[in-house]
Amino acid sequence: MEINWDLISNFAIALLAIVNPVEKIPLWVQASQGGSRDFRWWLAGLIILSSACVLLVFLWFGHHLLIQLKVELASFKIGGGLILLQFGFSMLKGTAVELKENPIDESGDLKHRVLTRYQQIFIPIGVPVIAGPGAITTAIIYGYQSQSLLTDMLLSLTLVGVLAIVFVVLLLSPAIQKIVGNLSLDLVSRVFGMILIAISVQFMVEGLSDIFPGWVA
């Protein structure tokens, strides 16, 4: 089976820019503040696992959904590019995500506290911050373009790898925020926003080129 390494590497870069682990640091510090080390580990693991399941479903089966809906990949690239473009601009402005303040429930055992907090913050941190429209769109587009089972499997491993990076960043968030400060985190987030804008424009150009092949020499 032939492996499309360009597709895999582009998927890794696109997904990393969209998920943007750095942007999650202030949110996670706020969401897990006051919790013990074990509490943060279990809560982060549960959120990442749930997000991975959502994205893997769309990576493997999203293109079948497009086929059933009779939506061409070119059209989806244009629509998905518009979604990513909007999200990229919101990242540049620092308004991509917001989190309502909910205090951590200190009653009950560790499992109860983790599940209670998980129900409070999975939306928005899990969906739509991690497994949001941008990440879902990217998973569908790249899954659609895969031409072999081996490439599908490597795309899945790439997705899991990116979310593993997010998991590590979440666990290290308090230390990272204390060391680099909010200004540096905001700057990195803006850079990810610029990368995402470039990727979204590329999606739209590819979609328009497929629909209007005469545009490309």
Residue ranges per structural domain of the chain: 5-210
Predicted TM-score (pTM) above 0.75: yes
Digit-by-digit pLDDT tens for the chain (217 residues) are 678 889 999 999 989 988 888 877 877 877 787 778 888 899 999 999 999 999 999 999 988 888 888 888 788 888 878 877 887 787 777 765 555 555 565 666 888 888 888 888 787 678 867 887 778 888 998 998 888 899 999 999 999 999 999 999 999 988 888 888 777 777 877 887 787 788 788 888 888 888 888 765 5
Listing DSSP states for 35-85 in one string gives --HHHHHHHHHHHHHHHHHHHHHHHHHHHHHHHHTT--HHHHHHHHHHHHH
